[in-house]
């Protein structure tokens, strides 16, 4: 029996890739390098990543299909090469090569305290001895300059290895950049999505961030092209989603988690933070009043099988600290300061857990200062 390429293609069309359910041919996984020498057949299969969990089973299924549908005497075993898209199209040079972990802080809707959480998490991580940077990516509502008491800062350019870079502002051990440094704080930012995305790319790639253990990105609320820009520009370690226990906020948080876990974004969700979990008056520190509902974030985390990183109470000092530029995480002895310290420790634990489950070459080793 004569063997020709179409027979091979037809046989491989009967093999499905478990990750998508598509057959190998329609999924574009069969390369056009089929070689036939008598009974010997060889070709290449294309996979997205070198650590694809289905490589071995797909190669075995391809061998079986050819022996079944072409000829049982075909010499195919060991003649199927595996290549990845990275080999065909190498990834561009990594932005922020000196940054070990990049964390996106997100929320499904505004008003849940996302920026307050991002600011205090950054301060708490710095308090643990880590090198921390924070990018205020909330282009249309930048609030981090006020929270860090650096509203009047005007970052300058510095020359680093022959490049002129923006020098971030710094306070409380956290390096900070925000669009708020470059616009009048009294004016609204009226930019189209492309302008906002380009501005953020400049604050990331043209800034002197230096060596960082953690680089936090305070994203705008909701889902937008800015989120897509961030995941396309940076190798994000994981995302944190902030919500309140309220049903309306939980519905939007669910969408935010779905966005990160979807095919277009595909960013690991490190966990959920339930902000405003309860109200505790200063004069009655043992009392808890669940004014937005009880344990809504906890139940959502359990339902979606993501870690609950922390429950942050409503305390007047959190609002006061944000307004006067003195984050409550600066004092870990207070109730709220301790809550943010615990949150920071949980985030570090989740990232270390994630690193332990990556291939050895992809692990990140974090060391304190």
In this structure, the strands spanning 269-279 and 308-314 are parallel
Residue in 144, 138, 152 with CA at minimum distance from that of residue 172: 144
Question: For residue 20, what pLDDT band results from cuts at 50, 70 and 90?
Answer: confident
Q: What is the DSSP letter of 332?
A: T
pLDDT of residue 364: 41
Helix (H) or strand (E) run with residue 61 in it: helix 55-69
pLDDT of residue 332: 87
Span 228-284, pLDDT tens digits: 778 777 888 999 999 999 988 999 899 888 888 876 677 889 999 999 998 887 777
- Does position 358 have pLDDT exceeding 60, yes or no? no
How far is it, in rounded angstroms, from Cα 261 to Cα 238? 10
Question: For residue 57, what pLDDT band results from cuts at 50, 70 and 90?
Answer: very high
User: What's the per-residue H, E or C state across the chain?
Assistant: CCCCHHHHHHHHCCCECCCCCCECCCCCCECCCCEEECCEEEEEEEECCCCCCCHHHHHHHHHHHHHHHCCCCCECCCCEEEEEHHHHCCCCCCCCCCEEEEEEEEECCCCCCHHHHHHHHHHHHHHCCCCEEEEECCCCCCCHHHHCCCCCCCCCEEEECCEEEECCEEECCEEEEEHHHCCCCCCCCCCCHHHHHHHHHHHHHCECCCCEEEEEEECCCCCCHHHHHHHHHCCCCEEEEEECCCHHHHHHHHHHHHHHHCCCCCCCEEEEEEEEEEECCCCCCCCCECCCCCCHHHHHHHHHCCCEEEEEEECHHHHHHHHHCCCHHHCCCCHHHHHHHHHHHHHHHHHHHHHHCCCHHHCCCCCCC
- Does position 300 have pLDDT exceeding 50, yes or no? yes
- Does position 86 have pLDDT exceeding 70, yes or no? no
Q: What is the DSSP letter of 168?
A: P
pLDDT of residue 333: 85
Paired with 23 in beta bridges are 16
Span 156-213, pLDDT tens digits: 999 998 889 999 999 999 999 998 888 776 666 666 666 777 888 888 989 999 999 9
What are the distances in angstroms from CA 342 to CA 132, 339, 345? Answer: 17, 5, 5
Q: Centre a 10 Å sphere on the Cβ of residue 362 and count the other Cβ atoms it contains.
A: 9
337 in the Ramachandran plot: left (φ > 0), alpha (ψ -120 to 50) or beta?
Answer: alpha
What are the distances in angstroms from CA 107 to CA 15, 53, 61, 90? Answer: 41, 31, 43, 33
How far is it, in rounded angstroms, from Cα 79 to Cα 141? 57
Residue 231 exposure: Cα atoms within 13 Å on the Cβ side: 20
Residue in 351, 262, 246, 256 with CA at minimum distance from that of residue 299: 246
């Amino acid at each position: 029996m004569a063997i020709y390429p179409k027979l091979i293609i037809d046989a491989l069309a009967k093999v499905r890739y478990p990750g998508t359910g598509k057959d190998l041919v329609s999924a574009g996984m069969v390369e056009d390098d089929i070689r036939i020498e008598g009974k010997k057949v060889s070709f290449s299969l294309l996979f997205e990543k070198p650590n694809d969990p289905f490589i071995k089973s797909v190669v075995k299924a391809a061998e079986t299909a050819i022996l079944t549908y072409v000829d049982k005497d075909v010499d195919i075993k060991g003649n199927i090469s595996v290549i990845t898209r990275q080999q065909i199209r190498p990834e561009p040079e990594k932005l922020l090569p000196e940054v070990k972990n990049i964390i996106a802080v997100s929320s499904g809707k505004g008003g849940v305290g996302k920026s307050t959480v991002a600011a205090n998490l950054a301060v708490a991580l710095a308090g643990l001895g880590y090198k921390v940077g924070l990018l205020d990516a909330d282009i249309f509502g930048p609030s981090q300059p006020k929270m860090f008491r650096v509203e009047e800062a005007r970052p300058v350019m510095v020359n680093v290895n022959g490049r002129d870079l923006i020098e971030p502002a710094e306070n409380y051990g956290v390096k900070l950049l925000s669009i708020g440094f470059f616009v009048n704080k009294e004016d609204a930012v009226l930019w189209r999505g492309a302008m906002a995305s380009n501005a953020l790319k400049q604050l990331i790639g043209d800034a002197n961030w230096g060596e960082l253990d953690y680089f936090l990105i305070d994203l705008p609320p909701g889902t937008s092209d800015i989120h897509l820009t961030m995941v396309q520009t940076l190798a994000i370690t994981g995302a944190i989603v902030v919500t309140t226990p309220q049903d309306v906020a939980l519905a939007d948080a669910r969408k935010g988690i779905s966005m990160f876990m979807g095919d277009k974004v595909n960013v690991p969700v490190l966990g959920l933070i339930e902000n405003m979990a309860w109200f505790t008056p200063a004069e009655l520190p043992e009392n808890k009043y669940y004014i937005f509902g009880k344990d809504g974030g906890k139940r959502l985390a359990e339902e979606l099988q993501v870690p609950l990183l922390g429950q942050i109470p409503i305390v007047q000092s959190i609002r006061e600290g944000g307004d006067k530029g003195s984050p409550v995480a600066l004092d870990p002895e207070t109730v709220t300061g301790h809550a943010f310290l615990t949150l920071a420790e949980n985030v570090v634990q989740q990232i270390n857990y994630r690193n332990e489950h990556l291939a050895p070459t992809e692990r990140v080793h974090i060391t304190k200062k």
